[in-house]
Amino acid sequence: MRRSAGRNVSLLSVIAVIGSLGAAAPVAASPLAPPPKSPVAVGYGGAVASVDADASAAGIEVLRKGGNAVDAAVATAAALGVTEPYSAGIGGGGYFVYYDAAERSVQTIDGRETAPRSADSSLFLENGRPIPFNDAVTSGLGVGTPGTPATWAKALDAWGSTSLGKLLKPAERLARDGFVVDDTFRSQTAGNQARFADFPASAKLFLPGGELPAVGSLFKNPDLARTYETLGREGVDELYRGELARDIVSTVRKPPVAPDATRVVRPGDLTATDLKAYRALHRAPTKVGYRGLDVYGMAPSSSGGTSVGEALNILESTDLSKASEARYLHRLIEASRIAFADRGRWVGDPAFEDVPTRGLLSQRFADSRECLIKDDAVLTSPLAPGDPIHPTPCAAGDAAAPTTFEGENTTHLTTADKWGNVVAYTLTIESTGGSGITVPGRGFLLNNELTDFSFAPAAPAVHDPNLPGPGKRPRSSISPTIVLEHGRPVLALGSPGGATIITTVLQSLTGHLDRQLPLVEAIAAPRASQRNSATTEIEPGLWDSPVRGQLEALGHVFKANPEIGAATGVQRLPDGRWLAAAEKVRRGGGSAMVVRPGGRP
């Protein structure tokens, strides 16, 4: 989750705001004034939008020194591992979508975590029954092989222009010199206090002296600074084959629990062989046409690209630009309901499952599902899936597969450079604080991504493509998206939020492309999230609106959610400038920056 908009400036924010490379980080006793933190920025030379001013500043620093969008994305992600350690870091994974301006092509990297090779469908079963979800969250059992460092290395090797060592320097400096704690960081720590206290390494880092970090104090992570320095010097193989790999394996297999802890912490079965075998994978992106544009996303193992793409195909037949707000939201909700019904049946790791990606993204299949939507009634959830291989209009499918739970504490960043390259990158450690287990002496938390698997078959009568398996990647909802027109970028965006990522990206895209909202306003608009359940979650802006009553009259049932998603994006303007956009309010507001706010290209 994002820290509040009122957090104090630190070293990297100073660099971005005043361009002074020699500025010092503030001391806790005399914090500097809050930095300018804007949800929108327009200018030349490149752009960065992220959850955090320090992280965006790290990316801008790289762009100013001649780096490209890929370089800036890695630097921003590494900085987020410092300032947003409960959302992301080298102990997790993610998905990287890249637009190459020279080739006018979109390529992607699947950096999703993998299960140990010993895992099977009974990974989370004891005596034939699923273990309690929270027990799996705080355990070695839920830890997958981290994919983030391998993603950085693969992206830089293919498209980068700067060494990893140089790109980690801003984050290394930030970890060493510190950032100022705000209310949100303290509250997130408080939410994890009981878990962290049970692991000495986590308690030492996040609960210094046994206390929560004080608002206004300087939070430093020297262990992570040293880890970044090691990765920069030795390369990411250190995490997959070196001493760091051995530390990760020993931590997972024998979680270092405090002697007085009463928590039952199950060990995992991750091995050195699992880490050595890990590969981040180049995958062909998903692609659909929408309103004359090409929309590219992340293919399975993520369900983001197929679900967003299918929903857009379903909505293609409706002129959303002329629809009333109620009709727009009704169609959006129903398209999302259908897409989630289909992803639950068909999407999993393509190395293990025969995922009909082409069928899911075909307009013929979308048309066979769109005819289910009525303007005067609501579909009943859970809705049964359709058959993308043999589409039959309005056909009733097999039994429905409910949506599995996914942790919402993820982060997204978007970058662009002066050459026109663009990156949309979403990374995560799953739950807030991941597994709660810090690798001793290394300064980062391990993920609990394997809890994204179904613990048991979602529906006995239907094949579940998301059960655990050896080396398998759990299904994700991560949806980094890039939109092109005639081969040139229009916009790129993404969001955290677990399964709500799909609905957030879908609503932001249609809000901008169909409803003609400026990108920052499309991101800020109050959200609805329907994930093939009996109720649709809506934010206060819709809960308190007359449109809720209009939709309820059709049969919609709503549940209030104070906050859904937290998107960032970049947009290429007709005059060649970049526009960076982030949240105006959600999670404290985001940080949009450009290299040169004025001047000429």
Cis-peptide into 382, omega within 30 deg: yes
In 120-165, where do the E strands start and end?
125-126, 129-130
Q: Is 217 helix (H, G, I), strand (E, B) or coil?
A: coil
At 486, the amino acid letter reads: H
- Per-residue b or e along 546-562, where b marks 16 or more CB atoms closer than 10 Å to that residue's CB: ebbebbeebebebeebe
Q: What tokens appear for 400 in the block? A: 């429905």
**What percent helix, strand, coil does the chain show, rounded to 5?**
35, 15, 50
Residues, the chain = 601
Residue 544 has which token pair?
């308190």
Q: What does 248-292 look like in DSSP terms, one character per residue?
A: HHHHHHS----TT-----------HHHHHH---EEEPPEEEEETT
Other Cβ atoms closer than 10 A to 266: 15
**419 CA to centre of own chain:** 26
- CB–CB of 217/180 below 8 Å? yes
In the DSSP assignment, the letter for residue 438 is B
CA distance 577 to 600: 9
Q: Are strands 410-417 and 528-529 parallel, antiparallel or unpaired?
A: unpaired
Contact 19, 185 (CB under 8 A): no
Catalytic residue among 83, 306, 403, 410: 410
Angle at 49 between CA 45 and CA 55, to 5 degrees: 100
User: Which of 88-100 are b and which e, b meaning 16 or more Cβ less than 10 Å from the residue's Cβ?
Assistant: bbbbbbbbbbbbb
Strands of 112-171 (E only): list them: 125-126, 129-130
Residue from 497, 506, 507 nearest 562 by CA: 497
**The one-letter amino acid at 455:** F
CA torsion sign, 463 to 468 to 473 to 474? Answer: positive
H or E element in which residue 541 lies = helix 540-543
500 a catalytic residue: no
Number of Cβ within a 10 Å radius of residue 79: 31
> What residues are annotated to the active site?
410
